[in-house]
Structure 1
Amino acid sequence: MKKLLFLLTLISSLVINAQDSGSVKGTITEASGMPLAGAAVYIKSLDKGGVTDFDGNFTIEDVAEGTHTVSISYIGFETLEQSVSVTAGKTTQLNSQLKESNSVLDEVIITAGKKPQKITDVPATVNVITARDIEEFPSFNIGELAARQKGVDFVRTGVLGTGINIRGFNSAFNSKNLQVTDDRLSTLIATGLPMGSFSTVTKDDISRVEILLGPNGTLYGPNAHNGLVSTITKNPRQSEGTTFAVGAGNQNVVTARLRHAQVLNDKFAYKFHFERSQGTEFNYADSVYVGTTAYKELDLDRDFDSQKYGASLFYKPTKSSEITGYYGHSNSNNIGVTSAGRNQIKDWSIDVAQVKFVSKNFFANTYYTWSKTDETYAMNQRTQNYVSFIDNGFSEEEASERSFTEQWFQTGANFGDGIVLQRGALFKDASKRFNAEAQYNNNWNQFYLTLGAQYQLDMADSKGTYLFDEGGIDLDQTGVYTQMEYKLSDSGWGFLVGGRIDNHELYGSNFIPKAAITKKVKSGTFRLTYGKGIAVPSILNLKGNLFGGLVIGNGEGFTLTDGTKIGKLDVETINSYEIGYKGKLSEKLFIDTNAYYNQSDNFISPLVNIADAANGNNVTHVGDTPIGDLVDGSTGAFVLTYLNFGHVDTYGLDVGLNYYFNDSFRTSVNYSYFDRSLDTDDMDNDGNLDGQVLESELPINTPNHKFSVGLHYGKGKFYGALFGRYVQKYDFFSGINVAAETQDQDGDGINEIVENAQVGRTWNYGQLGGFSVDANAGYNFNDNLSLGLSITNLFNAKNREFVASPVIETLVSFELKYKVNFFKKKPATIN
């Protein structure tokens, strides 16, 4: 009888509770009426919600009777909050349309916390290049859009080459900004350099690019050191249709692209893309010095081209989960700038295969990367090799053939009196990388938890051309991380702590912590953050063997003739402290500003010559191995390698302002300041080991001041933008490369650096930087056809933006684009 009474009471309670609650259902679409699959619908007061299905539909059950605020968000769209009244025992209909985000404060981003977050909730400085920015930029090279972001050091090496740096210490071989694409590393395997134009994705398939300033190592691991650049491509369920694009410009630039995406049913969708682009670099040859005589780079080929293709298959096993399979390929021919001269890149291909699973609480990802080239070569070294044969009587044909691998050293007065030195200029690569990651996300009321683990195995193989890698080099690293957030919605306070244990095969375990406090106010959010980043030496840093021992990696340390020991490379660390604010200053004026202070230790230097042959102090051993046993014929009289420096403090601020005159016209103003404090009495900062600390030995390679103004207009069928950028003139030192004003570095009354003159093994054209104006405009004839125009360096300012690179001249490009959807679904009906 007691059991029966208990059962009846339980049933009665359930019935009563059911009568006290109802449900909310509806459809979420974009402005055109197309359903948005995966939009987040959330009732904060009840901690209830879900995501929309393939048709944009959602249902939230067991909603207490009363009036509630429903928040609807989707990446790239404005967050919408709507009030809904729920009646017990009934279903309330809520259909909503989301607008593409035009306001910087309405953005929803995913990179900072590896989950969707409104940009004002993120305790970091984040720049977003939106789908609209990309759509309205009529050039295949969207790297130029990075120039329009605050806190970013943007450089251009020619028609094709663009690069970015964040918060100091740039070089011609900069791997301190981690780049990822759809949750996979977009970096080369042996060098750690960003892939850049080697990427396998095309412009028309990119949904957005999120740029995070400062360390982000807790969630992303080593080398998310100064910043992180995340490229996110389109899901076919929100971008169905076919896009044809053709473009042309000066410097013989021609591009053709195709993208197709189709939804087959509520389970399957797919997309594929193809691109072919080509052109000719500016008429510039870098000087190659043999003694005091300059030569042009041998067999310089200024023509560049790239071919890319890829495909993805999307499968939804449930309404709230998705499995994606991706394969992409790229092949490139172009010129690349390095710390030891320029490379002629020949048929360098990248292949990527990926499988990824995403659901509300779980994320799993694994992918494999292949890198391959057999004919890429260093033009500087090859030219020196060629000259050595020509000057000693060899035929031009033989000199050209042998210049890929050998240099002639004349020992007597007669022809043939000499020896061959192995000074290989040829780069081959057959490297591979395997990555895997698993992550769990959940929240309980105001507490949010992220747990994850990552694994990476680098398998470098240069076929003995630029690494000590007989039999290949395998290095693995594993990271385990967690991040916890607690949000007090009533008071606006938020607290975040995170930590990562990263275990590297050579460097053991490193702890990477993170912490933040945020405070929401009516018009914005204040934040105070701390983060640590580490830069693990690349395989090239550790095992490099370039040009027959002229460049040797520092994985084991060195010994000099006088017994001096030079330690092996260690992990570089940075501790970053930042305070910032995002919010409204008025109804039309928005601000995103920060100030930061960084402490860097064991800074990994650019290439430094550690031998002092003039005083007979050569390199005798690499680790415990005599240098002559490791590199045939080497005397150690000239060895370039990488070193750790002691300690340097850097600091700066970024200010970004956006003013909306109306819905059609806005202006953006960005300003950045950067500087450093170097203790010249700390001999750990003696970069070239000459007994004194010089400012140039730990080069800032970053301007103190950057300023930009942008004007953006879009109304009806027309859009356009005008963007002016000022970069204060600054010195740049990287390996053999020098771009600096005339200066006496050591105070001895002699100018070691002279502008417009030979400095060491290169020509110094003077400081980098200057002022330039870019513009773009377009017209949409109808929903399918558009024509765009882009002009880089509108007034042809004669600026040199990077070392071993030409003056950047005006670039003009046109783009005609046609979009059609043969399989367009009927838009959902909106109440």
Structure 2
Amino acid sequence: MEKRITQLLLFVGVCLLTTLGCFAQTKITGIVTESRIKNPLVGVSVRVKGTVAGTITDAKGQFAITTTAPVPLTLSISSVGFQTREIAVDKQSDLRIELSEQVLLGQEVVVSASRVEESVMKSPVSVEKMDIRAIQSAPAATFYDALLNLKGVDMSTQSLMFRSVNVRGFSANGNSRVVQLVDGMDNQAPGLNFSVGNIAGMSELDVESVELLPGAASALYGPNAVNGLLLMTSKNPFQYQGLSAYAKTGIMSASNRSSTTTPFYDAGFRYAKAFNNRLAFKLSASYISATDWQATDTRDQGFANGFTLENGNRQNNPGYDGINSYGDASANLNAFQSTVAQLLPVPAAQIALISPDLARIIGGVNQLSAATKIPATQIINDVLLPNVTVSRTGYTESQLVNYKVSSLKLNGALHYRINDNLEAILQANWGTGTTGYTGQDRFYIKGFSIGQYKAELRGSNFFVRGYTTQERSGDSFSIGLLGQGINEAWKPSLDQSNLVGSWFPQYAFAYAGGALQTFSTALQQALATNPATAYQTALNAVNAVSGNLHTAARTSADQGRFLPGTPEFNQALATVTGRPLPGSLPNLGAKFLDKTSLYHGEFMYNFTKLIDPETLELIVGGSVRQYALNSGGTIFALDETNKEYRINEYGGYAQASKTVAEILKLTGSVRYDKNQNFKGQFSPRLSAVLTLAKIHNFRASFQRGFRIPTAQAQYIDLNTPTSHLIGGLPLFRQKYNFTSNPVYTLESVRAFGAALQGGTALPQAAQSLQPYQPKEWEPERVETYEIGYKGLIKNRLFIDAYYYYNRFLNFEGAEVVIQGAQPATLANPASLQQLISGTTRTVYSFYVNAPVQVKNHGWAVSADYVLPGNFVIGGNVAFNDLANRGSLPSGFVTFFNSPKYRYNLSLANRNIRGSGFGFNVVFRHQDSFIWESSFANTEATLRQQTKIPAFGSLDAQINKRIPGLKSVVKVGGTNVLGKLYTQAWGNPSVGGMYYISLTFDELMNR
């Protein structure tokens, strides 16, 4: 695949070079000044429209362009914060051009919606844009964080370094439903199949614009863009030259952290230079270091033994499973009957002989009638080893993780203009960092790196590019597996060859011994007063002290446990994090070994130069892609040759648009994509934009998107503390013998366990079990209907609104099933008991299609108004809802994690009365909502407890431009009121962040 992409680029390049001819040249010079005070403007972009030719003004505001484009031609003159002008030139000229400073409302040009430049007002679908000026004035620590201020955007903060962008409801900590492109390159980590925020993206100094396209975009951008597209474009070194740099520092403060207040440091630079308007290069780097936000949620999400989030804790619930507690593997005491019997001085059947009084109550001495005889097995179930879940003592996240995080980004590009219509680009983006992430487990992404390397030929009406993404996991590890691995390194949970030295048997034996002593004493006393109720009286006595019995059992089993900070603990931590995951009991490993790569080639051609655009605008394009999985067999399954799989995809698209009577724009597009493991998919889109009175734009569209299951969804084969994650392909059902050793749905196993705990006999309780019936797994498809409006009223009020309705076909969600260690069949009820104990069962989690359609809908409205003095007041509100949650199977995880309502309110002024001072204040609020994921317990009866609370947050900044130093000083803060909030289940709590920065740009105007 890599060779094919390289050969394609070379072939196209040679063909283009051999067709180059000699053309007449036109030289254009001029000066650009500010219209009000006539000062020269430096760094203004001057571009020949319809070509790649262009330059920038120098320190005196002067420019010179030599072009082969025939006259008459049009120059496009633009600069951040100034009105863009287009000037017709019909001969060699010496021009004097004035630009006016302006507040931009609805004037942006976007490319993401149609893959061609168009006014944001006439975009056929919803699109949001942040340009350089918006980025500079955002009240956020980084441009990426500022995306949260756009309407309809959810962000999941998993770390200071890692935020996931989510739109239209379906949210995840690692979101594979939103495609993130950096200069046309898919920025996903190939082994994870989602973008790790901007940890390996671009430096803020090199960002020209960010466009967000909410909703399906598969018709032009292919698989996975079913919920949105984030398009980040860097600065071209021909247009943005010179040196720029910034330094930022401040403090982070949160009351739940080990050190409440800690500093952070952030710095970067960018340098670009062009030679003779033919050759240009740029280099940029940025680095940030901080102590991260911390995940310290100690609530009990195990919901075991009747406890809930609100009342469960380690002191009162022996089966406690803290949200941010790790290594607390669990099992049912009742499952250790035979184990404890081996450790007792007499066999289980002879327990009745331990005391004469106990013997009488069982019936060994026939003092009671047959109706009151108590079997020995009931004594074991009721007294010695009741149906109670117990868990090992875990470790908190702060005991397992060093919260020092960092990110280093290095970017470089070389641009060469072969002629006015063709530019060659070699580009490299490399980033490394340490951060946190919440998926099926909590993960510590340590020393993780992504390198993206691109070769591209770009013309005024086409591009051909090939790139590769190289992911390296560094020293990343699973925090949950680490906690469990340290416990196993100290003492195995269950070792059949060494029961005395195993934690669960020790716990069970200690509990049974204490319970037996309490029971016997109470029984002897009760027999003397009322033999008929003696058994229940003695049982009540045991239940009354069960908490103490569990505490004593835990103390006994935990003797010698590795304590954080001790040499033994540190050695075990180093061993487990240095061992590839998952290992096997007791030698668990937590380290990721992932060197997965992606290879991608694509092209697009716009027929504008061959077809009159007033008649029809037509573009075509296509792509090929390969994922080369490489985890050393630790994450992904191996094929029959003991190698990891490669996944091949290809696709092509075409789009035609037509403007009728200058008021109606019609657009139609279609794309076809094929993945080797699934049937081909067609993705059409139809849209219309009607413009009335030149200011009112009404739009309507229908489009179909689809999502090819991720590489992990297809081929993952990984054990985690909560479940064994496997791919959804049929090969896994064969590998793990789903036919000969049946698997049962999680909900039915929970019902089975509850029935047994409630006293139902085993054969009757077994009727609750439902064997899982596999079905064909297909790519998820969505049909989206959308209407919208954009209007600019009196150049002061800008309104943007939309409503959408989604209908998902073959919606992809998670299925959890249970399999016994030995075949557990309905024909053998005794074999089914192993399904309810963590030590005798396997929990599998894999992706499946929902048996019913999933439907959601929503709307959003934003309004910005320019007040006198160029103060801008704005606000937006968004609504998202899963329309038919109640029709989905109980326990089906949709990952629809979104508040119904969220809104933002803002007030800003870029340059108050020409003083150079500016400010921006944003208040954000979102409702509470239920969180669904494989990390949270999402059993239907418990979903109302897995709730993310509502919160509001205030961000603010004030800045001062210093023209003499070509610099801007910025002081600001995010969540300045300091109230902690969490955006996803198990994620860290976010506090206040306060900063001061100094940015220098030698081409800065005003």
Scaled to the shorter chain, the TM-score interval is 0.7 to 0.9
SS at match of 2:482: helix
Distance in 1 (CA, whole Å) between partners of 2:656 and 2:476 is 46
- Given residue 771 of structure 1, which amino acid in structure 2 is its aligned partner? G
Q: Tell me, yes or no, if structure 1 residue 594 matches structure 2 residue 595.
A: no
- Given residue 701 of structure 1, which amino acid in structure 2 is its aligned partner? N
Distance 1:437 1:232, change over 3 A: same
Contact 1:27 1:35 in 2 (8 A): no
Distance 1:770 1:56, change over 3 A: farther
Aligned match of 1:46: none
Match of 1:433 among 587, 598, 601: 598
Once the two structures are TM-superposed, the CA of residue 477 in structure 1 deviates from its matched residue by 0.7
Contact 1:710 1:724 in 2 (8 A): yes
Distance in 2 (CA, whole Å) between partners of 1:644 and 1:30 is 61
Q: Tell me, yes or no, if structure 1 residue 276 matches structure 2 residue 287.
A: yes
Deviates more, 1:309-318 or 1:799-808: 799-808
Once the two structures are TM-superposed, the CA of residue 388 in structure 1 deviates from its matched residue by 2.7
Structure 2's unaligned 5+ residue stretches are 1-25, 35-39, 56-63, 252-261, 297-323, 331-390, 493-500, 502-560, 563-567, 743-770, 827-837
SS at match of 1:134: helix
Match of 1:579 among 784, 787, 798: 787
Contact 1:341 1:737 in 2 (8 A): no
Aligned match of 2:775: 567
Aligned match of 2:889: 686
- Given residue 948 of structure 2, which amino acid in structure 1 is its aligned partner? Q
Aligned match of 1:610: 817
Distance 1:577 1:98, change over 3 A: farther
Distance in 2 (CA, whole Å) between partners of 1:451 and 1:276 is 40
Distance in 2 (CA, whole Å) between partners of 1:616 and 1:784 is 74
- Give the paired residue count: 733
Deviates more, 1:26-35 or 1:567-576: 26-35
User: Residue by residue, what CA displacement relative to the aligned partner does 1:615-655 show, whole Å, maximum 9, x if unpaired?
Assistant: 98699xxxxxxxxxxxxx99763112222113111111110
SS at match of 1:598: strand
Q: Tell me, yes or no, if structure 1 residue 658 matches structure 2 residue 864.
A: yes
Structure having the larger proportion of residues in helix: 2
SS at match of 1:671: strand
Report 1:436-447 matches (<5 A).
436-443=601-608, 444-446=612-614, 447=616
Once the two structures are TM-superposed, the CA of residue 375 in structure 1 deviates from its matched residue by 2.1
Match of 2:848 among 624, 643, 654: 643
Contact 1:274 1:310 in 2 (8 A): yes
Aligned match of 1:692: none
- Given residue 773 of structure 1, which amino acid in structure 2 is its aligned partner? L
Q: Tell me, yes or no, if structure 1 residue 330 matches structure 2 residue 442.
A: no
Once the two structures are TM-superposed, the CA of residue 345 in structure 1 deviates from its matched residue by 1.4
Once the two structures are TM-superposed, the CA of residue 243 in structure 1 deviates from its matched residue by 1.5
Contact 1:33 1:97 in 2 (8 A): no
Aligned match of 1:145: 146
Distance in 2 (CA, whole Å) between partners of 1:614 and 1:680 is 34
Once the two structures are TM-superposed, the CA of residue 796 in structure 1 deviates from its matched residue by 1.3
- Given residue 224 of structure 2, which amino acid in structure 1 is its aligned partner? N
Contact 2:414 2:426 in 1 (8 A): yes
Contact 1:27 1:57 in 2 (8 A): no
Deviates more, 1:558-567 or 1:442-451: 558-567
Distance in 2 (CA, whole Å) between partners of 1:99 and 1:737 is 54
SS at match of 2:452: strand
Contact 1:35 1:56 in 2 (8 A): no
Report 1:68-467 matches (<5 A).
72=76, 96-97=97-98, 102-137=103-138, 141-250=142-251, 251-285=262-296, 286-288=324-326, 289-291=328-330, 292=391, 293-297=393-397, 299-338=400-439, 340-392=440-492, 396=568, 399-400=572-573, 403-404=576-577, 405=579, 420=585, 423-443=588-608, 444-446=612-614, 447-467=616-636
User: Residue by residue, what CA displacement relative to the aligned partner does 1:773-831 show, whole Å, maximum 9, x if unpaired?
Assistant: 1111211122522211220101112322222122211111211222336xx9xx9xxxx
Q: Tell me, yes or no, if structure 1 residue 510 matches structure 2 residue 681.
A: yes
Distance 1:534 1:423, change over 3 A: farther
User: Residue by residue, what CA displacement relative to the aligned partner does 1:467-501 show, whole Å, maximum 9, x if unpaired?
Assistant: 1144232111111110000012x341111000011
Match of 1:555 among 726, 729, 748: 729
Normalised by the length of structure 1, the TM-score is: 0.81
Distance in 2 (CA, whole Å) between partners of 1:807 and 1:388 is 30
Aligned match of 1:532: 704
User: Residue by residue, what CA displacement relative to the aligned partner does 1:239-290 show, whole Å, maximum 9, x if unpaired?
Assistant: 2111121111213211121111111222111110111211001344422233
Aligned match of 2:901: 705
Structure having the larger proportion of residues in strand: 1
Distance in 1 (CA, whole Å) between partners of 2:145 and 2:477 is 27
Distance 1:283 1:654, change over 3 A: closer
Report 1:711-726 matches (<5 A).
711-715=907-911, 716-726=915-925
- Given residue 818 of structure 2, which amino acid in structure 1 is its aligned partner? A
Identical counterparts, % of pairs: 20
User: Residue by residue, what CA displacement relative to the aligned partner does 1:712-747 show, whole Å, maximum 9, x if unpaired?
Assistant: 112131111000011011111210225x9xxx945x
Report 1:752-831 matches (<5 A).
752=942, 755=945, 766-782=947-963, 783-820=965-1002
Once the two structures are TM-superposed, the CA of residue 613 in structure 1 deviates from its matched residue by 5.4
Distance 1:97 1:183, change over 3 A: farther
Distance 1:663 1:576, change over 3 A: farther
Deviates more, 1:715-724 or 1:93-102: 93-102
SS at match of 1:334: strand
- Given residue 936 of structure 2, which amino acid in structure 1 is its aligned partner? N
Once the two structures are TM-superposed, the CA of residue 108 in structure 1 deviates from its matched residue by 0.8
Contact 1:138 1:813 in 2 (8 A): no
Contact 1:154 1:164 in 2 (8 A): yes
Distance in 2 (CA, whole Å) between partners of 1:84 and 1:310 is 36
Contact 2:52 2:459 in 1 (8 A): no
Contact 1:272 1:312 in 2 (8 A): yes
Contact 1:407 1:421 in 2 (8 A): no
Distance in 2 (CA, whole Å) between partners of 1:375 and 1:51 is 43
Contact 2:265 2:288 in 1 (8 A): yes
Once the two structures are TM-superposed, the CA of residue 116 in structure 1 deviates from its matched residue by 1.6
Once the two structures are TM-superposed, the CA of residue 26 in structure 1 deviates from its matched residue by 7.7
Larger Rg: 1 or 2?
2
Normalised by the length of structure 2, the TM-score is: 0.68
- Given residue 665 of structure 1, which amino acid in structure 2 is its aligned partner? F
SS at match of 1:387: helix
Distance in 2 (CA, whole Å) between partners of 1:73 and 1:145 is 28
Match of 1:473 among 630, 645, 655: 645
Once the two structures are TM-superposed, the CA of residue 234 in structure 1 deviates from its matched residue by 0.5
- Given residue 305 of structure 1, which amino acid in structure 2 is its aligned partner? S
- Given residue 657 of structure 1, which amino acid in structure 2 is its aligned partner? A
Contact 1:177 1:229 in 2 (8 A): yes
Distance in 2 (CA, whole Å) between partners of 1:798 and 1:177 is 27
User: Residue by residue, what CA displacement relative to the aligned partner does 1:53-89 show, whole Å, maximum 9, x if unpaired?
Assistant: 33457798676xxxxx989576977775779799xxx
User: Residue by residue, what CA displacement relative to the aligned partner does 1:144-195 show, whole Å, maximum 9, x if unpaired?
Assistant: 1011101111232343332221101212332100000001101010221113
SS at match of 2:135: helix
Contact 2:664 2:691 in 1 (8 A): yes
Distance 1:357 1:451, change over 3 A: same
Distance in 2 (CA, whole Å) between partners of 1:100 and 1:357 is 35
Once the two structures are TM-superposed, the CA of residue 51 in structure 1 deviates from its matched residue by 6.6
Distance in 2 (CA, whole Å) between partners of 1:165 and 1:156 is 11
Distance in 1 (CA, whole Å) between partners of 2:724 and 2:587 is 10
Distance in 1 (CA, whole Å) between partners of 2:122 and 2:434 is 43
User: Residue by residue, what CA displacement relative to the aligned partner does 1:335-357 show, whole Å, maximum 9, x if unpaired?
Assistant: 2221x221111211111111112
Distance 1:772 1:617, change over 3 A: farther
Contact 1:38 1:320 in 2 (8 A): no
Distance in 2 (CA, whole Å) between partners of 1:216 and 1:776 is 34
**Bigger relative CO (Cα 8 Å, ≥ 6 apart):** 2
Aligned match of 2:752: none
Distance in 1 (CA, whole Å) between partners of 2:883 and 2:630 is 40
Deviates more, 1:155-164 or 1:527-536: 155-164
- Given residue 194 of structure 2, which amino acid in structure 1 is its aligned partner? L
User: Residue by residue, what CA displacement relative to the aligned partner does 1:319-373 show, whole Å, maximum 9, x if unpaired?
Assistant: 23211111121111222221x2211112111111111121122211111111112
- Given residue 554 of structure 1, which amino acid in structure 2 is its aligned partner? G
Distance 1:166 1:85, change over 3 A: closer
Once the two structures are TM-superposed, the CA of residue 441 in structure 1 deviates from its matched residue by 0.5
SS at match of 2:606: strand
